[in-house]
Structures are given as C-alpha cells and as structure tokens.
Amino acid sequence: MEAQLSREIETGVQLARAGGRSRLANRLSIPAGKRAEYLLVPLALLLFLGLWELVVRLGDYPPFFLPSPGRVYAKFLIVVRDGTLWRHTQVTLVEIFGGLALGLTTATLLGYVLAKSRLVERVLLPYIVASQSIPIVALAPLLVIWFGFGSLSKVLVCALTLFFPVLINTIVGIRSAERDLVDLMRSLEATRWQVFTMLEVPAALPVLLGGLKVGVTLSVIGAVVGEFVGADRGLGFLVNLARGLFDTPLMFVALFTLVAIAVSLYAAVAALESLLLSWRK
C-alpha cells in the first residue's frame, strides 16, 4: 500500500513538473503570427536599402549629393576602425544620459508636487507652459554662453527638451488614481507612503512610461541641438563637420548612429514597460 502511494505521489510530482515546463515553454515560445511580424522589420529595411540603391543608380547621383548604401557602409567601417565614431558617440551618450537623469528627476518631482497641490499648479504651470513657446534652438546658444562649450550646456539642453512632456504625463498619471480608492485606503488608515506606493504609482505607471518613451527620443534631439550650436565633439559635431567637408557618407553614418541610439532607448523603455505592467495582462 505504501509503495503504491509513493508511486502515485511520484507520478503526480512528475506530471506537475511536466505541466510547469509546458506552461513555461508556452510563455517563452513566440506565436507564428508574432514571428511573422518580427520578420517584417528586417524585410522593410532590406526593401528600403534596395530602393535607395536603385534611386542612386537610376539618377546617377554623385556621392556628395546622395551616396549609395555601399559607400555609407564603407565610410562606417573606416570611422569604426580608427575610433572616430565611438569617440563621438561616447560624448553624445554621456550628454543624453545626463540630460535624461536631470530632466526625468526634475520633471517627475515637480509633476508630483503640481499634481498634489492645485495652488502650486495655478502659480507655476502658466510660466512653465509659456516657457515652451521659446524654441530650444533659440535657447541653446544662451545656455552655451552661460555654461560654456562643454558637456554641461548640452546636458541642460537635453533636459529642457524632454522636461515638459514628462512633467505633463506625471501630473496626468498621478491624478489618474481613482478618488474612491484613495478614500478607501485612508479609511483603512493607510499612511501617505502606502497610498503613494500601492495606489498612485501603479495607477500612474502607464502614463509615466508613455511620457518616458517620448522623453528618451527627445533627449537625442536635445543633445544634437546643443552640439549643433557649439561643440568640438559628439555626433552633432560630426554631422556639422561632414556638412562642411561635403562628406555626405560620413553625415549618413552619424545620422544612422543617432537613429540607432533613439531606437535602442525606446526599445529599452518598452521592455521596462512590459516588465512593470505585466500584471495588467
């Protein structure tokens, strides 16, 4: 009897393990429809490169006007081997991450204060909105004059570029917590910190991450604008240098590197969103 019971228990454990492995495999496996969607991205890229090559060949354009993908790739290999591309990319990345850290921290903290205090919002928000009427291209030269040609002025330009959308998303996100749930938690004697961490943050996360997606792409624009105004290094400087030398392949290399940075940052935020908001599924 005991031997039969032990065999049944062992069989149940094996079935449970097999079921767990199958559920894990189902979670990790990619459906056929999704695999087809993922294949569309490289196919679209190949189609774009093919059309680009066709336009260059049919139009017989000179390289300084419109280089072929092969010339751009050859220039890419040159600047990678001599370290030029990484040297300038590293500078731009430092400015982008510095601007992200400063802009996101400031916008999130101020947005929370504005969301919680109607009085502070009525006093400060009109001036914040009015400041957005000043183009960042017009403000960047002033920041370069005040803070010099180093990385600090570019970090500030980057932070100002993403500040407003993140601020507005923070205000909307914090206020998206339902008032009835807030009253319920207070009736249960929840502390302010518990209300913040257990209700306001989860309710605000979808909107906050949406603002972060916009912010990370704008941060790349801000860093490049700052480098356009005054810099001796960075990808924005590399674009300016290539323009002055009529080295259009080098300009394409710098632009595609900026695109790769923006897409990578956006993908990182999308992955973070999928991780933090998995409970919604």
Say what angle helices 84-116 and 201-229 make with each other, to 10 degrees: 140
- Give per-residue pLDDT as tens, 137-162: 888 888 888 887 888 888 898 898 88
Chosen CATH of 64-280 out of 3.30.420.610, 3.40.1350.10, 1.10.3720.10, 3.30.200.20:
1.10.3720.10
Closest by CA position to 265, among listed 208, 209, 202, 204: 209
As a whole number of angstroms, the distance between CA 218 and CA 234 comes to 17
Closest by CA position to 236, among listed 216, 222, 249, 246: 222
Q: What is the DSSP string of 183-199?
A: HHHHHTT--HHHHIIII
To the nearest 10°, the Cα dihedral for 89, 90, 93, 94? Answer: -150
Structure tokens at 155: 């970090």
Closest by CA position to 207, among listed 273, 130, 127: 273
Closest by CA position to 223, among listed 149, 127, 173, 151: 151
- At residue 33, the pLDDT reads 57
Under DSSP, is residue 281 helix (H, G, I), strand (E, B) or coil?
Answer: coil
Residue 145: what residue type?
I
As a whole number of angstroms, the distance between CA 82 and CA 77 comes to 9
CB atoms within 10 A of CB 30: 10
- At residue 9, the pLDDT reads 44
How remote is the C-alpha of 151 from its chain's centroid? 20
CB atoms within 10 A of CB 55: 12
- At residue 98, the pLDDT reads 92
As a whole number of angstroms, the distance between CA 26 and CA 20 comes to 10
Report DSSP state, residue 200.
I
User: For each of the chain's 281 residues, which pLDDT tens digit applies?
Assistant: 445 545 544 555 454 455 555 554 454 455 555 666 667 777 888 888 888 888 888 888 888 888 888 888 998 998 899 888 899 999 999 999 999 999 999 998 998 888 888 888 888 888 888 887 888 888 888 888 888 788 888 889 889 888 888 888 888 888 877 777 777 777 777 777 877 777 777 878 888 888 888 888 888 888 888 888 877 888 888 888 888 888 888 999 999 999 999 999 999 988 888 888 776 66
CB atoms within 10 A of CB 130: 9
* H-assigned helices in 82-150: 84-116, 118-131, 136-147
Mean pLDDT of the chain: 81
Q: What is the DSSP string of 215-252?
A: HHHHHHHHHHHHHHHS-SSSHHHHHHHHHHHT-HHHHH
Radius of gyration (C-alpha) of the chain in whole angstroms:
26
Q: What is the pTM of this model?
A: 0.77
